[in-house]
Structure 1
Amino acid sequence: MGVSDRGEDWNWTKNDGAGPPPEIDITKPSIARVYDFFLDGKDNFAVDREIGEMTLRIVPDAKEAGRASRRFLQRVVHHLAAEEGIRQFIDLGSGLPTQGNVHEVAQRVDPSARVVYVDNDPIVLTHGRALLATNDTTTVIQADIRDPEAIYANATLRRFIDFSEPVGLLMFSILHHLHDDEDPWGIADRLREPLAPGSFLAMANFFDAQDEHPESSKQAETMEKVFNEHLGTGRWRTREELMRFVGDFELLEPGLVPLADWRPEPGESWERSATYYTFSGAVARKP
């Protein structure tokens, strides 16, 4: 279900071919569906493709940035599962399922690894439940990152996650969709605080490189305007602002870097255009 290669909106078979479920508004762009477009997915609509195409006119390698983000996620999850022994993950702002999801990567290391996907978009819940119908170690819940206490109190999440043991808390492409007046740093503090020692925070964020790469800072300013005008959200932050999300957690090497520079696999590359420096990631451990 979703969008065909010809750009036509398919019927939603989970809704008896009658169109998308009523709670899904296809007249307004969705962050999850726009990201799906950048990953060449099929679960997006004309309004989402319009924003995606607009972005590509300004940032021609935006799809490559989306793919770099997905590869970063996969490298991080594999490292946490294979090298750090993490066996339970919370993926905040998980977005629409695609290839190489968190549970697929983690469960290749250990089939018993537990994963909870969290997103506030009803389309993610619809797709996630269909995808995970036969997976008893992975689930998806609908919740909003702006309310950390409600997320952690969720009965379904509590059945999967043992907070007395280390957790991999994943915040990929989510914190930059919180405005400054929503106190994203306070939200990050509240999300980190209940985690057991030995837990990890992994994040990927839009990055305003400023003095480090002035050409990318100009692009960041343009993209921030586009995202806020059409999606109502999107914030490119400085290194100092992003490091505040880590708090007292200890950064793993190589620190806060462009996504493609975080422990790349042999042969992985991304042309170092201005866009290269506008998306950064980091992983940190709770002492």
Structure 2
Amino acid sequence: MSNATSDETVPSFIDATEPSIARVYDAFLNGTDNYEVDRAVVRGVLKAAPEAADLAVENRAFLIRACRFLAGQSGITQYLDCGSGLPTAENTHNVVQRINSDSRVVYVDNDPLVLTHSRALLEDCENSVVVSEDIFEPEMLLQNEVVESHLDWNKPIALLQMGTLHHYNGEHARTRKDIMRAYIDALPSGSYVAISHFLDPEDEYSATARRMEDMFLHSMMGSGTFSTRAELEELFNGLEMVDPGLMRCADWRPDGPHLKQLNAAQRCIAGGIALKP
């Protein structure tokens, strides 16, 4: 992480005294858009599990495979990417527009650095936009003028909640399932929901999951809950799961066989896609 941004060059709109979820993920991925406060969170979690960076790696890999499936096999051409985070080499619009150049993507985030970088990246990309909203307030987000106009809400949409819901701490006095129900109720028939989330595997790796959770929750970031399989299945609110169902991210339609055993972190993040009939 030696290439990270110097704290001496923090833009005026960034609070470098508080960690940012997007910047912490960036630090896990050895990116350059993070500060010492973000790297301190990463160091703490790495003490709990040295392989913890693979939580971010597997989350990103699952996003890419999920987008390839949605664009290539399901024919989805509209995407609402919630909590999209800092741009990387392969973003949602890169993946889906490679398959269908007419695909439309709305990124949603409320991190100032994410918004600045994303708007610069998408400046010449007419089918992709970014809006500033709180993804845990779906009613407000869905009423956003750009969200309403950029997507055709009479046709199927893919809703992406990749590595987001485990950072919800009940701030809006509702459950994660209630938040997802609001989104799902708004989606047209034929839409898909893709979720990735920290997992308590309820096996010999549970202790590692809870150690990582403890480090996340008691860091300055203050969020990062690990949930059981049953708890994660509830987030899909009874939708029809796409084969192979809710799986460890590494095992969801992998590009090839695993060449070595999964480490603790790779066993502690799960993902799945479901269809709204």
Q: Could you tell me which amino acid in structure 2 is paired with residue 232 of structure 1?
A: G
In 2, the alpha carbon distance for the partners of 1:225 and 1:56 equals: 12
The reply to whether residue 9 of structure 1 matches residue 6 of structure 2 is: yes
What corresponds to 1:179 in structure 2?
Answer: 169
The reply to whether residue 220 of structure 1 matches residue 206 of structure 2 is: no
After superposing the two structures, state which structure 1 stretch, 270-279 or 166-175, moved more.
270-279
In the TM superposition, 1:222-241 aligns within 5 A as 222-230=211-219, 231-241=221-231
In the TM superposition, 1:53-202 aligns within 5 A as 53-180=43-170, 182-202=174-194
In 1, the alpha carbon distance for the partners of 2:59 and 2:259 equals: 12
**Superposition RMSD on alpha carbons, in Å?**
1.7
Name the SS of the counterpart of 1:193 in structure 2: helix
Name the SS of the counterpart of 2:130 in structure 1: strand
- 1:138-181 Cα offsets, whole Å, 9 max, x none, are 01111112210111111111221111100010000001111255
Q: CA deviation at 1:203?
A: 0.4
In 1, the alpha carbon distance for the partners of 2:94 and 2:267 equals: 28
In 1, the alpha carbon distance for the partners of 2:118 and 2:259 equals: 30
Name the SS of the counterpart of 1:169 in structure 2: strand
Structure 1 pair 10/104, CA: closer, same or farther in 2 (3 Å)?
farther
Q: CA deviation at 1:10?
A: 7.2
What corresponds to 2:265 in structure 1?
Answer: 275
TM-score normalised by structure 1 residue count: 0.91
Q: Could you tell me which amino acid in structure 2 is paired with residue 250 of structure 1?
A: E
In 2, the alpha carbon distance for the partners of 1:179 and 1:127 equals: 26
| Identity across matched positions, percent | 39
8 Å CA contact 1:4–1:10 kept in 2: the answer is no
Compare relative contact order (CA 8 Å, sep 6+) and give the higher one, 1 or 2.
2
8 Å CA contact 2:163–2:196 kept in 1: the answer is yes
Name the SS of the counterpart of 1:117 in structure 2: strand
Q: CA deviation at 1:65?
A: 2.7
Structure 1 pair 150/263, CA: closer, same or farther in 2 (3 Å)?
same
What corresponds to 1:203 in structure 2?
Answer: 195
In 2, the alpha carbon distance for the partners of 1:268 and 1:37 equals: 25
The reply to whether residue 21 of structure 1 matches residue 11 of structure 2 is: yes
8 Å CA contact 2:7–2:35 kept in 1: the answer is no
After superposing the two structures, state which structure 1 stretch, 45-54 or 98-107, moved more.
45-54
